Structure formats: structure tokens, C-alpha cells
Amino acid sequence: MYRVLDCITVDHDPYLVVLAAIICAFGAAASSLVATRIASSGRAGAWIALLAINAGSTVWATHFLAMLAFRTTLPMSYDPGLTLLSYLIGVFIIGFSVRVAHGGQRRARGAIAGGVLLGSGVAALHYAGMAALRFPGHLSYDVDLVIISVLLSIALGISSMWVGRRLADAHARTLAAALFVAMTVTLHFTGMGAVRLELSPLAADAAGMSRSALAIAVTVAALVVLLIGITAAIVDQRIASRLASEAERFRTLADGALEGLLVHRDGLIVDANAAARAMFGLNGPVAAATRLDTLLDAAGIARMKEPIDDERAFELSLLNAQGAYFPAEVSRRHIKLADGLQGELLAIRDLTTRKKSEARIAHLALHDPLTDLPNRRLFLELANKAMGHAQRTNERFGILAIDLDGFKTVNDMHGHAAGDELLRTVARRIQSELRDADVVARFGGDEFAILQSFTTQPRQAMALAERLLETLQTPIRLADAEVAISASIGVALYPDDGATTEDLLRNADTAMYRAKADGKATCRFFEAQMDAALESRRRLEFRLRHAITSETLEIAFQPLVGSRDGHPVAFEALVRWNDAELGYISPADFIPVAEETGLILPIGEFVLRRACMEAASWSQPLSVAVNLSAVQFRRRGLVDMVQRALTESGLPGERLELEVTESLLIDNRDEVLRTLTALKEMGIRIAMDDFGTGYSSLSYLQSFPFDKIKIDRSFVTDLEADSQNASIVRAVASMGRSLQMQVVAEGVETRSQAALLKDLDCDELQGYLIARPMPAAEIEAFLQEHPARVSPADAAPAEAAA
Ligand code: C2E
Ligand code: CA
Ligand code: CA
């Protein structure tokens, strides 16, 4: 009787012990390779089975190889049934232990349970293998050592499973394999130490598998281990290279993405693509060591704690590489990381440029591009807000509508660039008169509006309007000219003049039109009756357009006669409008509207052409006088238009007179002078109309080449009552003579007026006394009764005979 342990070094064949160790180590390594597939493959069951066969075979082969290494003279054999059973126990229990360890969600618990199973399975294999031993005598066990061997085996089994639960970690796998080898070897030799062989010569049934048969079985098991090991290694190699190239491909793809891609696990960044690295200034190992929280603001941190909603991208502020927050659109996804654990993928789109252009578009939508002032939409919005505020606080506010006087002229004369410059200057000037709480907007063209918030009295609106009138009247220097404009301002007050911002704006407009009608460059507060006036003005404009397109305007002719002999010298063409709906409308009423709306251009052209045509058909070569509005005059192309009318009608320029008013001479005198000179070169005569009503500067008369002065009707009417008028007429007449200009008196209604004007040295008379304006068809009859001065040269013989 002797202890196995005593002779372990002496009685074991060292070569076979080494071989057993090699097989054990190799088997453990192969098992660990197979184990990695359990995690990464879809078919975990099959791999667990393979692992069980491999590990079982390893332990089994190790055990029996160690038994074969035992040198003894005893006739030993092995019971085949128990030998096979020990193998099956090993395979099944190991398989079961791996399933337990890796099957469930709770890995720590699974590892412990699996480890217990593994240790016990290996012990069961060992003791079943021992039970298969047949020799003359019997075995007895040292129970303490057996218990210790089983506990050691279980402890090492748990360690191996615990370490090996992180299957993706190569180091962990190696350590687990080493612990597995330790478990197998420790168990074997502790187990062998617990055994006592008690010989009894009587017991001679040593029948069973011989030593050599066992050697074959062990070899087969070892081959199985070897085969599985090699296969696993090849598969592993293939898979590893495929994974590597796949990872490479994904890396390229991810780096090519314009979106930033960040992978984090539990708030720790584990990977980032090129775009994300650039966005956040993350590089190499920094990327992997950064906490996601350091890139977020408080709201972002809170948002990231919410569960992932795959559907929705949301906006966040993120900290960029320069340490500034930028707006980003983020979407979140779960992803499985390489070690099989859950991580989170963040796709990040930088919204900075988009936000900027959105802001730019929003600004454009609410501002006037020329002056950058708020536009109508924004103005209405702000006015609505002001109204809400005023309602709560019982305050008042005002809306001022501003329209420039003379802007069209600047545009026509100096071009659009100058017009734009003027508008910008006006915007600046208006703004400098406002308080911070007030808003000025441009509605397009030369229309501005002001929202004036104030708490006390309408007086403040008045004061502002007056300041504006003044600042806008100051001449404006443009790039290549200095221009003078003015503004007409209308004021509407909340709550008196309207309950909605639209009403207020409309009423401010109405008041502004009133200001224009009252001579411009002034300010008016809204009054209820203005509305009606505006309405009728709109109607007038509408009907006037209709009259132009339907060609229902007509022309009346009123003769001018020589004051001494009473012979007609010319006819003045006066436009007539008899509207089907509005009835007869005096040109004194509609011409101003036509001038404001630009309709004067087609009207003026029509009158000129028709007047020339008529005059060309008269039996006597009298002149025709045509009124020209300042608006027409300022338009380029006037000279061409006049030339066309002459050419078309065949009327010589010498028979045309153009009547202009003093308002023409206020600005752009050089330009006006050039045009007048060009007209005169065509033989046309120019008459100064309504003399005495306007700016009445005698110096104008000297500097412009007029041929005629028409003294305004008002002087003539009061001629007898007011002796001052008589002296004015006399002065004008004498000056006219000295400048070689003819002097005409308009509105002569009585014989005594006519006599007086003749005494005052007026050359020509015009008025109801001589004739009212008459239709073209009546001219010939009039000429029959009042023939022109007969000068043999221009009397047509045929006509004279008739
Ligand atoms: P205007 O150029 O001073 O024309 C003379 C106006 O005095 C005409 O009024 C004529 O009918 C009126 N009139 C003539 N004799 C007498 C009189 O003895 N007593 C009174 N009380 N009035 C007399 P009408 O035709 O109503 O024209 C008014 C103004 O309208 C004209 O004043 C002229 O400035 C403008 N106008 C008329 N036709 C045209 C036109 O074709 N083009 C332009 N631009 N203006 C025109
Ligand atoms: Ca006239
Ligand atoms: Ca006149």
C-alpha cells in the first residue's frame, strides 16, 4: 500500500506527463478560440457543442494520458463502460456549464453557476475515470483530499468562467484558458493523491481494456482536440481578417460621411469619425478618453438621459473645438459594439450654416433690402404688439404715413441709383429723429411709416411730424447732384382713429393724401371726412384710366386775340373729360390727380398730337397753344415726343406754343434750360403760364428764354377793384417788352377789363369775353366771323374767295 503521490515523480513517465500537459494546454487554447465564436456568431448552440467536445476531450485525454504515464508493474486495465461514461460526463457537463454561463442576461451570476458546473463536471470526469480502473486489489479514498480536490476544481472553474465572460477580450481569454489548465492539472494530481491502491492477490479479474487499447482511445481523443483546435484557428483567422477588412471599410465610409459620427458607451466616447473629430477637436486617444458630457450643455445632458427615440432627430447645442457652442441636429441609435455590448451611435449634423441662412432668410422676409428697415409685414406685426400693449396699459400710440414729394422726379432725372441713394438718406434721417421705442418701416417706393409709441398726447406726434418735415426738406447731396425734396405726412392715432392696425394705417394714408392735396410738404391728422374724399379720389383715378384707354377725352380750343385789333392769333388747347358716370370733370380737378399718378403722360401726349393735327387742318395758319405739365417736362424724351407730333401732323414748329408753369423752374434748372433750348431750336415758342401765382420771381423770366408771359386770371378778375393789380400788370408788361416777350392776359370777362388791359400794354387777350373754349368743329365758323389778321402772304387765296 503506498500513496500515489509519493511516487509521482519517480513512477510517472516524464515524457507522457509532458505530452499530457501539452495536450491540456493546446486543448485549452483551442477551447478559448471556439469560445469567441459563441459571442460573435449567430449559431451559438453549435459552437457551444463544439466547445464541449473540445474541452471534454481535453480534460479526458489529459486525465488518461496521466494515468498511462503511471509506471507500475501491476496488471492494470480499464472498464470500457465507465471509461466511455467518464468521457460523456466531461463533454455534457462542460457543455451545460458554458450554456449556463453565456446563455442568460445576468453574466456575473451565469459565470458563477457555470463555474460551479465546470468544476464539478471535471471532477466527475476524473472520479468516473478512476472508477474505470481495474487491477488486482481495490481503491480507497482519502475523503478530506477528495473534498479538497473537488472544491479546488470548482474554485478554479469559477475563476476561469468569471475571467472568460468577456469573450471578446483576448487577454481575458488567455487567462481563462490558463485557469482551465490549472483546474485540470490541480484536480488530477490532488485527486490522485486522495487515492490509495490496496492490493489483494485474490482479486484477479483484471479483464477490460488493456493499456494499449486505452492509449489508442486517448490518441483518438487527442486527435479530436487537435482537429477542433486547428479548425477553430482557421475559422478564427478567416473571421478576424474579414472583420478587419469590414471594419476598415466601415471606417472609410464613416470618415467619408459629412455627418459627425460618435460612438459612446455609458457616456464615454469610444469612437468618432473624421467629421466628428474635426467638429470637437478630438484626436486619437483623446477621442476615446472624452466624456460625452463635456461636449453638451445642461439641456443636452438632460436630453441624453432620455431613452432613445429612433424616429426623431432633435436639436442640441454642442461645444466645438474652439470652445463655442454650435447648433446641431442629432439622432441616436443603439449599436452593438465589437465586444458584443450595447453602445450608442450619435449622428451629428452641424446646423450653423443652415441656421445662419435661415436667419438671413427670416431677416429678408421682414426687412426692406434697400434700407434694411422693417418692411410692411414686420411693421404690422410690431404695430399689433403695440396695440396689445396699449390696450393693457391704456396708452396711446400713433402711426405716421410718410410719402416723399418729388421722388419720382429725382428718379426720372438722375436715374435709379440716385433714387436708391436718396431713399437710404431719407431712411437715415427719419431714423435719427426717432426714439428707440419707435419704429420706421419702408413699404416700398417712397412710402415710409412710423410707429410712435407714446403715453401722453397727440402733441408728440405733431412734434415728430414737424421735425421730420424739416429734416426731409434739407437738400440731399447725391453722388453727382444735390436735390431738394419734401415729405407729406399723415397721422392716425390709436384708439381714436382706428381699432385695428390696418384701419390705422389706411387712415394715416388718407391723412397723408390730404397733406399732398393741401400743397405737399405738410402734415395732416386723420379726420373722418377724409375717408370719403380719398374714396372719391380713387374713383376719379379709376375712371380717368378708363377714359384714357377708351379714348373718350376731348379737346376744346379757346382763342387768343390781339388786344388792339381783336384778330385771333392762336387757340389754346384745353382737355375736356365728360365721364359717363362722373359727369363733366374740370381739368383743374383731374390734372393734379393725373400728375400724381403719372397718367398725365398719356394724356399730355394725346392732347399734343390731337392739337397739332387740328391746327394743321385749319383754314388759317394760326398757332396752337398746348399746356405742358412739369411732370411731362421732367421725363426724358419730351423733345422727341414733340418732334413726332409735329412730323406726324405736318404742323411747322413755328405754329406751336407750349405753356409751362413756374413750378417747372424750381429745380434742375440746367436740365430744364437745355430742354427749352432744344424746343426753341425747332421753332416752337414757350409761354410762361399762370404768371404771378407761383414763385413769381422776375429773375426766372430773365434767365429763361420765354416768348410769352400769361398773366394769371386772378390779377385780371380783381383788376378794377385792386389798383395794386393794375400796377403789377403794367410792370410785367413793360418788363416783357424790354425782354422782347409778348404779354397775355387770361380770364378777360368784361369789356372794361379788356379796355384796361389794352391801356396797360398787354399784347393779347384771352377769356370768355372773346370766346369760351369751343369744340374743334366750331373753329371754322368762329374764324369766319373773326378772321385772322390779313397779311397777303399767309392768306390762302382759295379760302379768301370762299
Ligand atoms: P389754364 O392753362 O390757365 O387754362 C385756362 C383756364 O381758364 C381754362 O380752364 C379755361 O377754360 C379758363 N378760362 C378761360 N377764359 C376764362 C374766363 O374768362 N373766365 C374764367 N373764369 N375762366 C376762363 P380749364 O379748361 O378748366 O383748365 C384748367 C386748367 O387745367 C388749365 O389752366 C390748365 O392748367 C389745365 N389744363 C387744361 N388742359 C390741359 C392739358 O391738356 N394739359 C395740361 N397739362 N393741363 C391742362
Ligand atoms: Ca394754359
Ligand atoms: Ca393759365
Helices 638-649 and 669-681 meet at what angle, rounded to 10? 20
Residue 41, ligand 1, Cβ within 6 A: no
Q: How far is the CA of 579 from the centre of ligand 3 (A)?
A: 24
Give pLDDT tens digits for 103-127.
666 677 888 888 999 999 989 988 8
Angle CA(766)–CA(767)–CA(768) in degrees, nearest 5?
150
Pairing of strands 554-562, 568-579: antiparallel
Beta-sheet strands, E only, within 697-796: 708-711, 742-745, 764-765, 774-775
Atom of ligand 1 nearest to the CA of 586: 26
Q: What percent of the chain has pLDDT over 90?
A: 39
Nearest-angstrom CA–CA distance, 529 and 534? 9
Query: In angstroms, rounded to a whole number, what is the distance separating the alpha carbons of residues 699 and 710?
Result: 16
How far does the centroid of ligand 1 lie from the alpha carbon of residue 620, in Å? 24
Grid coordinates representing 794 are 399767309
d(CA 379, CA 707) in angstroms, rounded, equals: 52
CA gyration radius for the chain?
Answer: 57
Give, using CA atoms, the residue closest to atom 4 of ligand 1.
Answer: 574
pLDDT at res. 792: 46
For the four alpha carbons of 403, 405, 409 and 411, in that order, the dihedral sign comes to: negative
- Residue 204: CB atoms within 10 Å: 11
Ligand 1 and 479: CB distance under 6 A: no
Residue indicated by cell numbers 397727440:
458
Query: What domains lie within the chain, and their CATH numbers?
Result: 2-237 (no CATH), 257-356 (3.30.450.20), 367-526 (3.30.70.270), 561-575+601-784 (3.20.20.450)
604 Cβ inside 6 Å of ligand 1: yes
Mode of pairing for the β-strands spanning 137-141 and 195-199: antiparallel
Q: Which residues contact 294 (CB under 8 A, 6 or more apart)?
A: 319
Q: Which ligand is nearest to the CA of 633?
A: 1
Using pLDDT thresholds of 50, 70 and 90, give the confidence band for residue 33.
confident
User: Ligand 1 atom closest to Cα of 574?
Assistant: 38
Query: Other C-beta atoms within 10 Å of 467: how many?
Result: 15
Residue owning the nearest CA to atom 21 of ligand 1: 747
Q: What is the mean pLDDT of residues 46-74?
A: 83
Point out the least confidently predicted range of 406-420, 569-583, 693-707. 693-707
User: What is the rounded (10 degree) CA torsion for 104, 105, 106, 107?
Assistant: 80
What percentage of the chain's residues is helix, strand, coil (to nearest 5)?
Answer: 55, 20, 25
Residue 167 — very low, low, confident or very high, per pLDDT cuts 50/70/90? low
State the DSSP string of 133-161: EE-SEEEEE-HHHHHHHHHHHHHHHHHHH
| CA diameter of the chain | 184
* Distances in whole angstroms, Cα of residue 597 to Cα of each of 265, 323, 524, 692, 768: 73, 59, 21, 27, 31
CA dihedral for 47, 51, 52, 53, sign (positive or negative): positive
What's residue 153's pLDDT? 92
User: Torsion-angle region of residue 12: left (phi > 0), alpha (psi -120 to 50) or beta?
Assistant: beta
Report the b/e string of 31-63 with b at 16+ CB within 10 A.
bbbbbbbbbbeeebeebbbbbbbbbbbbbbbbb
Cα–Cα distance measured from residue 409 to residue 659, given in angstroms and rounded to the nearest whole number = 20
Q: Are 708 and 741 in contact (CB under 8 A)?
A: yes
Element (H or E) spanning 83, and its range? helix 80-103
Cα of 688 to ligand 2 centre, how many Å?
Answer: 9
> Using CA atoms, how far apart are residues 458 and 80, in angstroms rounded to an integer?
119
Higher pLDDT, 441 or 309: 441
Point out the residues that are catalytic.
746
Atom of ligand 1 nearest to the CA of 604: 42
Q: Which amino acid is at 372?
A: D
Q: From CA 93, how far away is CA 82, in angstroms rounded?
A: 16
The protein residue with its alpha carbon nearest to ligand 1, atom 8, reads 574
Which stretch of 146-155, 306-315, 382-391 has the lowest confidence by average pLDDT?
306-315
- Cα of 472 to ligand 2 centre, how many Å? 32
**pLDDT tens figures, 274-297:** 888 888 888 765 556 678 888 898
Q: Whose CA is nearest to atom 41 of ligand 1?
A: 575
pLDDT band at 254 (very low <50, low <70, confident <90, very high): confident
Is 281 a pocket residue for ligand 1 (Cβ < 6 Å)?
no
Residue 627 is predicted with a pLDDT of 97
For atom 42 of ligand 1, the residue with the nearest CA is 627
Nearest CA to ligand 1 atom 37: 574
Residue 466 and residue 480 in contact, taking contact as beta carbons nearer than 8 Å = no
Q: Cα of 703 to ligand 1 centre, how many Å?
A: 26
Q: What is the pLDDT of residue 428?
A: 95
* Cis preceding-peptide flag for 775 (omega within 30 of 0): no
Atom of ligand 1 nearest to the CA of 632: 44
Measured from the Cα of 607, ligand 1's closest atom is 41
Pocket test residue of 585, 746, 751, 768 for ligand 1, highest count of atoms within 8 A of CB? 746
H helices within 281-323, ranges in order? 284-289, 298-305
Terminal Cα distance for the chain, rounded: 178
Measured by CA distance, the residue closest to atom 29 of ligand 1 is 588
Is the pLDDT reported for residue 3 higher than 60? no
- Point out the least confidently predicted range of 336-340, 379-383, 721-725: 336-340
- Ligand 1 test: best mutation among 584, 627, 634, most atoms within 8 Å of CB? 627
CB-side neighbour CA atoms (13 Å) of 447 = 14
408 Cα: distance to centroid of ligand 3 (angstroms):
25
pTM for this structure? 0.47
Q: Note whether 539 and 582 are within 8 A (CB).
A: yes
Contact, 117 vs 175, CB < 8 A? no
